[in-house]
């Protein structure tokens, strides 16, 4: 299993300014908060599974959890570059 990204590098630059701003954000703290929220909401997920079971959706509800974890873990190494006329925004998940 891949590990989720731990650091987000945010770089903002403007053509008229030679310097650009780089921020390193520790998103591993967000994963800890999201894990606590997930643990707190797990009884509601179990309840949703029990409600969805008679309609045949229980397997889908249960498999949604690893799907979301897999999407988060595959963010590692993703880079996004957004260019406009007056600024450039670069996001990198490390």
Record the pTM: 0.72
Q: Show the CA angle centred on residue 83, arms to residues 74 and 21, nearest 5°.
A: 80
Task: Please choose, from the candidates 17, 93, 43, 31, the residue with its C-alpha nearest in 3D space to the C-alpha of residue 68.
Answer: 31
Spans of the chain, pLDDT less than 50: none
pLDDT value at residue 63: 92
- Alpha carbon of residue 10 to chain centroid: 15
The CA R_g of the chain, rounded to the nearest whole Å, is 19
pLDDT value at residue 52: 93
pLDDT value at residue 5: 92
pLDDT value at residue 1: 58
């Amino acid at each position: 299993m891949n590990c989720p990204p731990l650091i987000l590098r945010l770089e903002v630059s403007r053509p008229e300014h030679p310097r650009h701003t780089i921020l390193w954000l520790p998103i591993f703290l967000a994963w800890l908060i999201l894990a606590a929220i997930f643990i707190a909401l797990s009884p509601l997920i179990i309840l949703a599974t029990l409600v969805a079971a008679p309609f045949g959706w229980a397997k889908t509800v249960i498999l949604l959890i690893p799907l979301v974890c897999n999407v988060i873990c595959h963010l590692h190494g993703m880079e996004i570059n957004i260019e406009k006329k007056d600024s450039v925004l670069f996001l990198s998940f490390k």
